[in-house]
Every structure is written in C-alpha cells, then in structure tokens.
Chain A
Amino acid sequence: KAGVTQTPRYLIKTRGQQVTLSCSPISGHRSVSWYQQTPGQGLQFLFEYFSETQRNKGNFPGRFSGRQFSNSRSEMNVSTLELGDSALYLCASSETTAEQFFGPGTRLTVL
C-alpha cells in the first residue's frame, strides 16, 4: 500500500494570508489526525477526523480548521496567518485507534 502523502511539501506565505494543506491517508484508513511540530513545542495535536466527522480537537485557535472528504482525504486550513504558525504540519492516518502512520509533512514558513 502507498503511504500517507501530503501536499504541498513546502509553502511560503505572508502574514494575514490563508493556507490549505492536503493529506491523503493510507488506503482503507478512515482516521486522519493533524499535528503541528515546532522545535520549541514538539508535536502538538490539532484535530482528528473519522468518517468525515471531527472526532477530537486540540487547543488551537479557531483560525485552524479542517475537514475530511468521503474518500478519507483530509484538508486543514489556517486563516489569517501569523509568524508563529511557521512549523512542520504532519498528518497521520490509522485504521483503528492504535498505530498511526505519519506523512512526510508540509513545511510552512510565514514571512
């Protein structure tokens, strides 16, 4: 099976803009989770989607949102970008509530 894929891999935006990141899970996986990884904060949970429904949500402001489509592909959106949003955004898919498989990440730089 193909692994988790994320697009784009790199992104440069300016403050105030918005961005949409995409994640395609492993075939058959219905759960997709999103994480923000920064050097100072480690891996921070953003949200989890399962069968097109948000199942869990982390402690991020409302500027961060996501959705999942019927084919389990997921997108996350960040509006009104701030400098502090610069990070590696990782998605992970899982078949059950156990092992999560990570994608390569999208490196977002906000100038």
Chain B
Amino acid sequence: GENVEQHPSTLSVQEGDSAVIKCTYSDSASNYFPWYKQELGKRPQLIIDIRSNVGEKKDQRIAVTLNKTAKHFSLHITETQPEDSAVYFCALRNQGGKLIFGQGTELSVKP
C-alpha cells in the first residue's frame, strides 16, 4: 500500500525538552524519506531528509533515523524552542515515484 502512518497527531512539550515524531510505512521499495515543517499560513519546507542507504542523519538540533527492517523512520528535535512550533509532515517516495505524506503532527513548544 501507499499509506504512511504518522504519530502522534499532536505533541506538546516544554521549551528545552526533546520531541520525537514517528512514521511507519509498508512499501519496502521506498528509498527517500523527507520531513517537512509547515508553519501556520505558510508553505511546507524541507527540514531534513534521509535516503534508504543511511540509518541516521543529523543537522544541528534535528535528526532523522531510519529502520528499514521495521519500516519506520523518526524525527528527533532536541532543545526545542517556541519557533519549532509548527505542523511536521513525514513523507516517502515510493517505488512508483510518488511522494506520499503522513497526516502531520502539530507540535506546540511552550515557553
């Protein structure tokens, strides 16, 4: 199938805490896994991506891990700040080339 399950749908953390968002998928041929951040009223923007030949990728406070065997990938945000508040979407590109998105996680970072 083409589904990407994303959890949780909402996440509230205190400033400085870590936030983790997880996505599971079923298409084992998927080879590209981007994460997008969408602030209120704005367009989605790519924040980090990972390819299937890599298990982990980090960019400052953001990291993504991929477990191909278990078919899940996760976004980790450390030392969260109020400006991290947004909706985060995981996505994957399936074998057919389509970019399939998860349902989104609304992250709220409370100061």
**Residues of A near any B CB (own CB < 8 A):** 33, 35, 42-45, 48, 55-56, 58, 90, 97-105
- Given that A90-B44, A97-B32, A104-B43 are contacting pairs, would A42 and B49 also be in contact in the complex, using a CB cutoff of 8 Å? no
Which residues of A lie under 8 Å from residue B102 when comparing CB positions?
42
Total A-B pairs, Cβ < 8 A: 46
Q: Cβ of B43: which chain A residues have Cβ within 8 Å of it? A: 90, 102-105
12 pairs across A/B with beta carbons < 8 Å?
A42-B101, A43-B44, A43-B104, A48-B97, A56-B97, A90-B43, A90-B44, A97-B32, A97-B93, A98-B49, A99-B49, A101-B46
B99 near A102 with CB under 8 A, answer: no
Task: For the complex, give the distance between the alpha carbons of A90 and B45 in Å.
Answer: 12
B96 within 8 A of A: yes
A104 to B42, CA, bound (A): 7
Interface size class of chain B, counting residues whose CB lies under 8 Å from the partner chain: 20 to 34
- Complex formed: what's the CA distance from A62 to B10 in Å? 34
CB < 8 Å neighbour of B34 from A90, A99, A103: A99
Residues of B within 8 A of A (CB): 32, 34, 36, 42-46, 49, 89, 91, 93, 96-104
With A97-B93, A98-B32 as known contacts, state yes or no: A45 contacts B99, CB within 8 Å. yes
B104 and A42 form a contact (CB under 8 A): yes
Residue in B45, B46, B49, B101 whose CB lies within 8 Å of A43: B101
Top 3 A-B pairs ranked by shortest CB distance?
A43-B101, A102-B43, A42-B103
- A56, chain B: closest CB distance, angstroms: 5
Min Cβ gap B95→A in Å is 11
The answer to whether A45 and B98 have CB atoms under 8 Å apart is: yes
Residue ID in chain A nearest B93 by CB atoms: A97
Residues of chain A within 8 A of B89, CB atoms compared: 42-43
Smallest CB gap from A100: residue in B: B99
- Distance in angstroms between the alpha carbons of A58 and B100 in the assembled complex: 10
